[in-house]
Amino acid sequence: MSNLDKMFNPRTAAVVGVSTSNPFSPGNVIFRKLRFENGIPTYPINPKGGTVEGQKVYKSISEAPDGIDLAVISVPARYVPDVLEECGEKGIKAVIVVSGGFSETGKTGATLQEEIVEIANKHGITMVGPNCIGVYVPDTVDTFFLPSERVARPRRGHVAIISQSGGWLVERLEEFADRGVGIAAAVSIGNQAQTKIHDFVRYFGRRKDIRAILAYIEGFGEGEGREFVRACDEITPKMPVVVFKGGQSEAGHRATQSHTSSLAGNGAVASAAFRQHGVIEATDEDEVMAYSKVFSFEFRPMLGPNIGCLTVSGGHGVIATDEADHYGLKMPPFNEEDQEAMRAVMTPAYQGIASFRNPCDLTGSASDVDYERVLDVMLKIHYIDAALLLLLPYAPGISLQIGARVANVAKQYNKAVVAYVPDLEKYEVIIRGFEINGIPVGDTIEEAVQMLNGIWMRSQYLMRIGVLKKKRSSPT
């Protein structure tokens, strides 16, 4: 078991810095989560001793029982070196330093940070932080010092999140929970004094339960940017790495200095390096969500940028066309032969009112069967690389089973298919029908197109490095 395995799946833990008088202190919140919510045998530490939540409080790490996998330190910065030294002598190999007051505060704090890195390295400790909120794994471990009843937590899934900002990470977990996107693990790295972003990219990239890595980055220390893209070179052929980078503006750059004491660097240079090494850069938080969600599903590639679009509303098709054009995606008109093939499978009474140019407007008269049959024909067309389904369930012929029915058609083809369904509770059955059958659903047309853009960017990279074979035939 590696040190990071112990951190993300500890059998036993200790929290240094619980309070015997303030039940809402960070240390106490962390202790309650680990001990009572995660069910991990956890030892509270405070020099005064006593009891907390009916549990014996040990006066030091040295007095606590042996065999501790993970220690979480939440004490004033000046005490951290001594506590970390005790952890090393105790044989604890995974440590999270929640405490602030290090390099983010200036020269004195930076010196203190260098000291704790030296101690960790001397004892072979893997340390996350300082100035962080630590790690979260659904149903396993949660060191965030935020009461569980105040923050939604996502279910277990396939996305790993690495963040230099604890607050940004908490917001993403809220959003992932709201959108039903599961995560495998999340880590707030704070000042990344010892373990860096690239260490976690490599760690998560080796795990079989993870399909995508999302990283919020404010900047890199000297040489760290180069090491990050090297790590991505190793991992991106196997899974996508999505980055959202803060500190792009001059004002944002200054803000990062007082946040995690990171160096934001040149945004244009970083973006170019990301593209070269297969990293997908999200330009805003909407793209963060779209890319994270689509890559949490089993990946189906696009061998070209051409999308076939099915809708029951001409206006929605126009909006989708504009969004696709913004991202450099194409909706090529179908040739006459293919239009007739799609028309022929429509319900006869509606063949004359439907349009099959692309987007295909099946009109509000379309039924589940029409969607199934037309999609089946469309996905056979050689110059169509992906399908975008704009599902407006207001049409009387559309049932709550359409998600599962259409998804089962899509399963027969190795082409990317993405749907848009209004994010309303009454359509939850449709959305679930799509997603449990492997079709991601955007709650806006823009998000659905962004999902396809993420697939296309990743596919282009995989074709460039030879993992995917390029398409031979040209669009007509």
Distance separating alpha carbons of residues 251 and 204, to the nearest angstrom: 32
Instruction: Give CA 233 to chain center in angstroms.
Output: 19
| 3-state percent helix, strand, coil for the chain, nearest multiple of 5 | 40, 15, 40
Q: Which two tokens mark 434?
A: 């799509």
pTM for this entry:
0.93
Do 357 and 459 belong together in one domain?
yes
* Pair (284, 312) in one structural domain: no
Nearest to 13 by CA among 134, 185, 121: 134
Residue 245 resides in a domain: yes
Question: Do 156 and 72 fall within a single domain?
Answer: no
In this prediction, residue 471 carries a pLDDT of 73
For 120-148, give the secondary structure using H, E and C: HHHHCCEEECCCCCEEEECCCEECCCCCH
Tens of pLDDT along 98-153?
Answer: 999 999 999 999 999 999 999 999 999 999 999 999 999 999 999 999 888 888 89
What is residue 89's predicted lDDT score, i.e. its pLDDT? 98
Whether 49 is in a domain gets the answer yes
Domain end point (choices 268, 296, 324): 296
| DSSP notation for 390-408 | E--TTSTT--TTHHHHHHH
In a domain, 379, yes or no: yes
Query: Residue-wise over 273-299: b if at least 16 C-beta within 10 A, else e?
Result: bbeebbbbbbeeeebbbbbbbbbbbee
Domain match, 188 and 276 both: yes
Which pLDDT score is estimated for 269? Answer: 83
Which pLDDT score, from 0 to 100, does residue 1 have? 64
Using a 10 angstrom Cβ sphere, with 0-12 exposed, 13-18 middle and 19 or more buried, the burial of residue 307 is: buried
Please check whether residues 314 and 259 belong to one and the same domain: no
Q: Three-state DSSP class for 240?
A: coil
Q: Are residues 237 and 340 both part of a single domain?
A: no
- From the list 166, 172, 170, the residue with the least C-alpha distance to 218 is 166
Q: What's the CA gap between 451 and 467, in Å, rounded?
A: 21
pLDDT at 472: 58
Bridge partners of 241, per DSSP, are 213
Pairwise CA distance, residues 130 & 96, whole Å? 7
**pLDDT at position 259, please?**
42
Question: What is the rounded distance in angstroms from the CA atom of residue 151 to the CA atom of residue 29?
Answer: 13
Structural domain count of the chain: 3
Residue 469 falls inside a structural domain: no
The answer as to whether 357 is a domain residue is: yes
Which alpha helices (H) appear in 307-427, and where do they start and end? 314-326, 336-345, 368-378, 402-410
Closest CA to 374 of 394, 397, 459: 397
Task: Tell me how many degrees the CA angle 187-89-67 measures, rounded to the nearest 5.
Answer: 65
Position 257 scores a pLDDT of 43
Give the integer Cα–Cα distance in Å for 373 and 380: 11
In terms of domains, do 165 and 282 share one? yes
Tell me which residue range forms the domain holding 415.
307-464
Q: To which residue do tokens 């999200």 refer? A: 282
Which amino acid is residue 153, in one-letter code?
R
Secondary structure, 3-state, 103-126: HHHCHHHHHHHHHHHHHHHHHCCE
**CA triplet 346, 347, 351: central angle to 5 degrees?**
65
Closest of 125, 280, 121 to residue 215, by C-alpha? 280
Q: Tell me, yes or no, whether 141 lies in a domain.
A: no
Are 313 and 407 within one domain?
yes
pLDDT at residue 147 in the model = 83
User: 474: which DSSP letter?
Assistant: P
- Report the CATH number that the domain containing residue 384 is assigned in CATH: 3.40.50.261
Residues 43 and 123 in one domain: yes
Residues 332 and 255 in one domain: no
Whole-number Å distance between alpha carbons of 420 and 443 = 6
Reading the chain (476 residues) residue by residue, the pLDDT tens digits are: 689 999 999 999 999 999 999 999 999 999 999 999 999 999 999 999 999 999 999 999 999 999 999 999 999 999 999 999 999 999 999 999 999 999 999 999 999 999 999 999 999 999 999 999 999 999 999 999 988 888 889 999 999 999 999 999 999 999 999 999 999 999 999 999 999 999 999 999 999 999 999 999 998 988 999 999 999 999 999 999 999 998 544 444 444 444 444 444 567 788 888 999 999 999 999 999 999 999 999 999 999 999 999 999 999 999 999 999 999 999 999 999 999 999 999 999 999 999 999 999 999 999 999 999 999 999 999 999 999 999 988 888 899 999 999 999 999 999 999 999 999 999 999 999 999 999 999 999 999 999 999 999 999 999 999 999 887 544 44
DSSP state letters, 252-267 = HHHHHHHHT------H
- For residue 14, what are the β-bridge partners? 43, 71
User: How do 141-142 and 360-361 pair as beta strands?
Assistant: unpaired
Classified as helix, coil or strand, 366 is: coil
Q: Which residues fall within 8 angstroms of residue 46, CB to CB, at 6 or more apart? A: 17, 18, 19, 20, 52, 57, 58, 59
| CA distance from start to end of the chain | 55
DSSP state, residue 355: B
Query: 356 and 456 share a domain?
Result: yes
Q: Tell me if 474 is assigned to some domain.
A: no
